[in-house]
Chain A
């Protein structure tokens, strides 16, 4: 083993300067191929054993569905529509609710987080209430929102907002609190007014914390939207899941889960792009999970 790694290290060192760049590019490409190959292999093994397991009778497709059934379900939804109407309408509804909830929740979270982070009195007064609200399982608020706001999208938006708000709020609050004292002192010496302290030092410093929270919070917005739809809605992926559950259709549940995963991944890609644009100055990003 150690002889092997020594040999491969020598091999990596041997190419001279001229061919070094090409060799490195080739090594990078090889690695990408290996990683992607293994990824596909993993999916094939998991889905394949699921499919074969159902075919062999070890897994009961009545309860657990089967990949081919899920694919078929997606095809039916795509070409014939769901019981609630065309598939794109369900996705668009859920996406609209999640996005609105995300934007409102982020806005409120940042405003309150920065305000409480800067004004000590506000923080001291509201701390116990915010902690109490945060400790509560906020999904139960969904029922209240359905009762008070109704079956329209706004009850789902409201649920997404309360889920997103706290994540962003705590990050913004912490970000403001964690501002480097030396940077603040430096800005004061350079002549910053209180407002300039906020815009030039505190907000940019808190921004990396806030952006890190956005990855988690879009997921929460999606949870809010789907759970809200699940509790009662006219359209949306949550409703599609609820319907599939009611008709004992595990393939439908898995297919809807697959759609949600695609939506979440797409949002993640967009958020990462946004983050890269906004914090170009940062050598590496603080994210909750880095893979």
Chain B
């Protein structure tokens, strides 16, 4: 592999819990993601998937180890990073146009230029005509589209996605996944896509990284050699898809069960 876009080297992340003890979210994580690669990260609840993204984005510093993006160690939030959050992250007090134009505006682009580019991206994610709508007037899927446009307008070389479609209904979700693949193929940025849905991971990604139940570390890395362009709705019926699914699930199952047992115990 040529020099990777993202590299996590021996990364450990500990958080201080409210009770004052240290909680290890990630332990000795080593992953490298290539330039233009679509990498999915799966793992049971609480295995540090979102933490991984926070570290790559620079929102959180690692406790140990190093996060390298584009050959440079991450110190704070980088300009090359885009981040689509699990929950709604569009600003409720801005309409769609202002929301999408926010990134360029923050980065010093003049208002007219920023709005021009925002209109292009709004059209590209299929929200043309909704420029003046406020987020609460949109459906969940449309808000997600706005969030995508808001992120992609900055043309990030690194695109981080934290279960972006988990709150959507199944049909909208498949639609959005296909559109994401289309948008991504035009940009060819490196994507880290966190999900708990293995099917989604395989359908979208070039490689699937399985994390262990917390503290998270790499359990296995699986290449997904399905051809592109893919149709997410149909790719699931390919025999190869089922084979990959079974292979990864054998690995993931133990971790999911472990995590489930733990959560039961902590509840008891």
B residues 70-93 in Cβ contact with A at 8 Å? 77, 79, 81-83, 85, 87-93
CB distance from B39 to the nearest CB of A (A): 19
A189: chain B residues within 8 A (beta carbon): 57, 59, 77, 81-83, 151
CB distance from A211 to the nearest CB of B (A): 12
A residues 162-220 in Cβ contact with B at 8 Å? 182-183, 185-193, 196, 200-201, 204-205, 207
A280: chain B residues within 8 A (beta carbon): 134
A186: chain B residues within 8 A (beta carbon): 83, 85, 89-91, 150
- C-alpha gap A192/B89 in the complex (Å): 14
From A201, which residue of chain B is reached at the shortest CB distance? Answer: B91
- C-alpha gap A282/B93 in the complex (Å): 7
- C-alpha gap A201/B150 in the complex (Å): 15
A281 and B106 within 8 A (CB)? no
Is B107's beta carbon under 8 Å from chain A? yes
A137: chain B residues within 8 A (beta carbon): none
B103 and A191 within 8 A (CB)? yes
CB distance from B136 to the nearest CB of A (A): 4
From B54, which residue of chain A is reached at the shortest CB distance? Answer: A185
CB distance from B215 to the nearest CB of A (A): 22
B91 and A200 within 8 A (CB)? yes
A281 and B134 within 8 A (CB)? yes
A188: chain B residues within 8 A (beta carbon): 59, 77
B89 and A281 within 8 A (CB)? no
- Interface SS of chain A: helix
Is A128's beta carbon under 8 Å from chain B? no
Is B195's beta carbon under 8 Å from chain A? no
Is B231's beta carbon under 8 Å from chain A? no
Size of the B side of the interface (Cβ < 8 Å), in residues, is 27
B81: chain A residues within 8 A (beta carbon): 189
Is A27's beta carbon under 8 Å from chain B? no
B150: chain A residues within 8 A (beta carbon): 186, 190
Chain B, 50-64, contact with A by CB distance < 8 Å: what is the 0/1 string? 000000010100000
Is B95's beta carbon under 8 Å from chain A? yes
Size of the A side of the interface (Cβ < 8 Å), in residues, is 22
Is B196's beta carbon under 8 Å from chain A? no
- C-alpha gap A200/B101 in the complex (Å): 12
Chain A, 217-252, contact with B by CB distance < 8 Å: what is the 0/1 string? 000000000000000000000000000000000000
From B134, which residue of chain A is reached at the shortest CB distance? Answer: A281
- C-alpha gap A281/B95 in the complex (Å): 8
B102 and A279 within 8 A (CB)? no
- C-alpha gap A283/B134 in the complex (Å): 9
A279 and B93 within 8 A (CB)? yes
Is B117's beta carbon under 8 Å from chain A? no
B154 and A183 within 8 A (CB)? no
CB distance from B6 to the nearest CB of A (A): 15
B106 and A182 within 8 A (CB)? no
A190 and B59 within 8 A (CB)? no
Is B173's beta carbon under 8 Å from chain A? no
From A278, which residue of chain B is reached at the shortest CB distance? Answer: B93
- C-alpha gap A283/B79 in the complex (Å): 33
B89: chain A residues within 8 A (beta carbon): 182-183, 185-186
Is B94's beta carbon under 8 Å from chain A? yes
From A203, which residue of chain B is reached at the shortest CB distance? Answer: B93
- C-alpha gap A280/B103 in the complex (Å): 22
CB distance from A13 to the nearest CB of B (A): 27
A191 and B85 within 8 A (CB)? no
Tell which of A183, A188, A192, A281 has the most Cβ of chain B within 10 Å. Answer: A281
Residues of A within 8 A of B (CB): 182-183, 185-193, 196, 200-201, 204-205, 207, 279-283
23 contacts between A and B (CB under 8 A): A182-B85, A183-B89, A185-B85, A185-B89, A186-B89, A187-B106, A189-B57, A189-B82, A190-B102, A190-B106, A190-B151, A191-B103, A191-B154, A193-B106, A196-B106, A200-B91, A201-B91, A204-B93, A205-B93, A207-B93, A279-B93, A281-B92, A281-B94
Q: Which 5 A-B pairs have the closest CB atoms?
A: A191-B106, A186-B89, A190-B103, A283-B136, A204-B93
Residues of B within 8 A of A (CB): 57, 59, 77, 79, 81-83, 85, 87-95, 102-103, 106-107, 134-136, 150-151, 154
Q: With A191-B79, A191-B107, A205-B93 given, name 19 new contacts (CB 8 A).
A: A182-B85, A186-B85, A186-B89, A188-B59, A189-B59, A189-B81, A190-B151, A191-B103, A193-B106, A196-B106, A200-B106, A201-B91, A204-B91, A207-B93, A280-B134, A281-B93, A281-B135, A281-B136, A283-B136
